[in-house]
Amino acid sequence: MGGAAAVTHAPARALESSIRAQAYGLGFDLVGIATLGSMETAPHFEQWLERGYAGDMHYLPRWAHKRRDSRLPYEGVRSAIVVAMSYGGRELSGPVARYARGDDYHDVLDTKLRELHAWIGAELGREVRGRAYVDTGPLLERDLARRAGLGWFGKNTNLINPTLGSFFFLGALLVDLELAPDEPFASDHCGTCTRCIDACPTQAIVEPRVLDATRCISYLTIEAKGEIPLALRESVGELIYGCDICQDVCPWNEKFSRALPAGSPFAAREAIAGKDARTLAREIMEMTQEEFSEKFRRSPVKRAKLAGLKRNAAVVLGNATAGKNVDAS
């Protein structure tokens, strides 16, 4: 009986080690494996929706029931290979959040996860049913990442890894393989620190690990459909797209965030690189749709559309004119 069990499990352990090695070879910085099933944070997510914190993100409630169990979004899958890829953190802050300065992370991670999927099938000599998710479906990827041992939920709601900080993207490859899971990340290393909560200009972190997205600068400059509320415009300061403040002040990022490697797809493109808020805002206000489509091709910035960027730029220039945050001389 014992010998039979050893023969059964040895190939799985070998496959898991090979999967990790292949994922690292593709450029991922963290890799973990989790068994799919009921998601423990689903009730908290549903409460968050009920409190109205999703704002205009009406796509979030549509498949909320599928987020309760990570086996539901794609039939027949049993395990998740969860990955993380750093997008820097040592670069200077600026009017565009670090994650959005280069190529769209959805495309970058999805391509690499598809390569990993194809490699697994070739390694096993058969088709492996599965699907890659990069913030593109009803899946609580952050929950899966913690289950796969990649980190804990910080008070700013970001997943934090003790050797990488939080400046990274998450993705998951769901497969129909019964893989031995990693140990979940059970501890919390935020302690009594409240730097992220205290530093948020709009007080969007209403309590530890609870974000009112309707007050978050990232939401206001990317997801919000209408005008930015007058009471929050001054707090937007010189931020045109996204916000890194709650990550910038985190001690784990101060110590462990990384510089982007040479040739990174997340390096700032010419339309953004080295530009201060007022310069970029003025360029956006004068930009045509054709110029926008060309300069931000395959960029996350396209999510806000040109109209959204112009709205944000007008707020930044208004703050500058009022002498707020940007030198208007």
Active site residues: 135
Query: What is the rounded distance in angstroms from the CA atom of residue 1 to the CA atom of residue 6?
Result: 9
Phi, psi (rounded to 5 degrees) for 37: 160, -155
Return the ∠ at Cα 247 (arms to 242 and 252), rounded to 5°: 160
Phi, psi (rounded to 5 degrees) for 94: -170, -170
Return the ∠ at Cα 20 (arms to 79 and 37), rounded to 5°: 15
The set of residues, in sequence order, having a beta carbon less than 8 Å from that of 208 and lying 6+ positions away, is: 155, 190, 194, 197
The set of residues, in sequence order, having a beta carbon less than 8 Å from that of 231 and lying 6+ positions away, is: none
Query: Mapping DSSP to helix (H, G, I), strand (E, B) and coil, where does residue 233 land?
Result: helix
Query: Mapping DSSP to helix (H, G, I), strand (E, B) and coil, where does residue 143 land?
Result: helix
Q: Which value, to the nearest 10 degrees, does the dihedral of the CA atoms of residues 312, 314, 318, 319 take?
A: 20
Fill in the DSSP letter of residue 200. Answer: -
Cα 210 to chain centroid distance, Å, stands at 16
- The residues that bridge with 83 in the sheet, in sequence order, are 31, 171
Give the length of the chain: 329
Q: Which tokens go with 176?
A: 């129909």
- The residues that bridge with 171 in the sheet, in sequence order, are 83
Query: What is the rounded distance in angstroms from the CA atom of residue 177 to the CA atom of residue 186?
Result: 25
